[in-house]
Amino acid sequence: MEKFRVLFQHFQSSSESVMNGICLLLAAVTVKLYSSFDFNCPCLARYNALYGLGLLLTPPLALFLCGLLANRQSVVMVEEWRRPVGHRRKDPGIIRYMCSSVLQRALAAPLVWILLALLDGKCFVCAFSSSVDPEKFLDFANMTPSQVQLFLAKVPCKEDELVRDSPARKAVSRYLRCLSQAIGWSITLLLIILAFLGRCLRPCFDQTVFLQRRYWSNYVDLEQKLFDETCCEHARDFAHRCVLHFFANMQSEMRARGLRRDTADRDPEPPVTPGPQDGLDGGGSGKAHLRAVCSREQVDRLLSTWYSSKPPLDLLASPGIWGGRGGLNHRALTVAPGTGLSQHTDV
């Protein structure tokens, strides 16, 4: 249990770790999907190549799109790309960085599928059995070309009566599997070398620019999450006060109608002035959450302005439309770095 807890905490520690976690999960799902998929080569002349290549390429494409879908940062990137400039200029370098990080993570699951398919060999055998050169194998010497083609098309199907227990079939199958595995391992080696070189050589080029871009892309992601969180808190407080107002209004309405005269003797309490402070744990904190945004029009205006004109990345600038920076600074100071990013429930 301890190691699960440590693992989960590690993956939640930053948005990059969360994305890595999702990427690994998708790779594991791919392995399971491949092993549970029932491969079924048609063993017919034209269909083999279509089926084999289709199975080698279509699921990776679908998995790539799934990887993009499951990654929150792809949406954040498109939002950052399409937002109006407003007070905050756009840096194409950040968008490129986010794009490349999203693409790298989304490519993991498709590559796992392709490598599994190649190392397993069934796809390759199915796709290329008809394209094998019969001259390489002595067993085909005394068969007509059409017979050879028919035979080769049935090579992937071990149980077919034409090719059952045939040494020629086994020879072709072994040859193709060997080729498939060689290609699979070569691709694996190439990818690992590329990843290694990419990792080692990157500090040689533009390290400072890279660090800046990584910082700001993380920032954009976190800012979006915090904005959503703040909107949720605001909605909660808005709703709370709305409901309390409603109860208080009903009470005053009924008092106005004189409907409490029969209960006034039984409830000798002083008339409660309908105050929005009722029920809130600390009026100051409630007001702080609402931040003077208390009507539908104000909320709509806030959200439109957030979209069309994000505030500049300058916490000490003179107060403009967004008022004092003190609030932001204050929040930044009171939120401890480790806890601000995760949203553990403090029940």
Partner 1 sequence: MDKFRMIFQFLQSNQESFMNGICGIMALASAQMYSAFDFNCPCLPGYNAAYSAGILLAPPLVLFLLGLVMNNNVSMLAEEWKRPPGRRAKDPAVLRYMFCSMAQRALIAPVVWVAVTLLDGKCFLCAFCTAVPVTVLGNGSLAPGLSPPELARLLARVPCPDIYDGDWLLAREVAVRYLRCISQALGWSFVLLTTLLAFVVRSVRPCFTQAAFLKSKYWSHYIDIERKLFDETCTEHAKAFAKVCIQQFFEAMNHDLELGHTHGALATAPAGSAAPAPPEGAEEEREKLRGITDQGAVNRLLTSWHKCKPPLRLGQEEPPVGNGWAGGGPRPPRKEVAAYFSRV
Q: Scan residues 60-79 and list those touching partner 1 (CB under 8 A).
A: 61-62, 65-66, 68-70, 72, 74-75, 78-79
Residue numbers 92-131 binding partner 1 by CB under 8 A: none
Task: Determine, following the binding rule CB under 8 A, whether residue 150 of this chain makes contact with partner 1.
Answer: no
334 binds partner 1 (CB under 8 A): yes
Whether residue 140 contacts residue 175, with contact meaning beta carbons closer than 8 Å, is answered with no
Of 3, 4, 35, 199, which lies in the binding site for partner 1, with binding defined by CB under 8 A?
Answer: 4
Residue 95 contacts residue 80 (beta carbons within 8 Å): yes
Question: Please, which of residues 213-252 interact with partner 1 by CB under 8 A?
Answer: 225, 228-229, 231-233, 235-236, 238-251
- The reply on whether position 335 binds partner 1 by CB under 8 A is yes
CB 99 within 8 A of CB 73: no
Site for partner 1 in 286-305 (CB under 8 A): 287-288, 290-292, 294-296, 299-300, 303-304
Q: Which residue, 138 or 332, has its beta carbon nearer to partner 1? A: 332
182 touches partner 1 by CB under 8 A: no
CA distance 29 to 308: 39
Binds partner 1 by CB under 8 A, chosen from 20, 34, 47, 222:
47
Say what angle helices 283-290 and 207-256 make with each other, to 10 degrees. Answer: 120
Q: How far is it between the farthest Cα atoms of the chain?
A: 115
82 vs 199, beta carbon nearer partner 1: 82
Token pair of 18, please? Answer: 């969360």
Cβ proximity to partner 1: between 193 and 272 the closer is: 272
Write down the least CB distance from residue 292 to partner 1, Å: 4
Cα(102)–Cα(72) distance, rounded to whole angstroms? 9
Rounded to whole angstroms, what are the CA distances from 42 to 127, 149, 152, 199, 212? 10, 14, 12, 43, 54
φ, ψ at 323 (rounded to 5°): 70, -160
Q: Is 330 in the site for partner 1 (CB under 8 A)?
A: yes
Q: How many residues bind partner 1 (CB under 8 A)?
A: 111
DSSP designation for 130: G
Q: Which is nearer to partner 1, 135 or 161 (CB)?
A: 161
Within 16-35, the residues that bind partner 1 by CB under 8 A are: 18, 22
Closest separation in Å from C-beta 214 to partner 1: 20
Q: What is the rounded CA–CA span in Å between residue 325 and residue 317?
A: 8
**Cα–Cα distance, 336 to 246 (Å, whole number):** 37
Cα separation of 240 and 287, whole Å? 12
Closer CB to partner 1, 4 or 205, in the complex: 4
Read off the DSSP letter of residue 51. H
| Minimum CB distance to partner 1 smaller for 5 or for 199 | 5
- Say whether residue 10 binds partner 1 (CB under 8 A): no
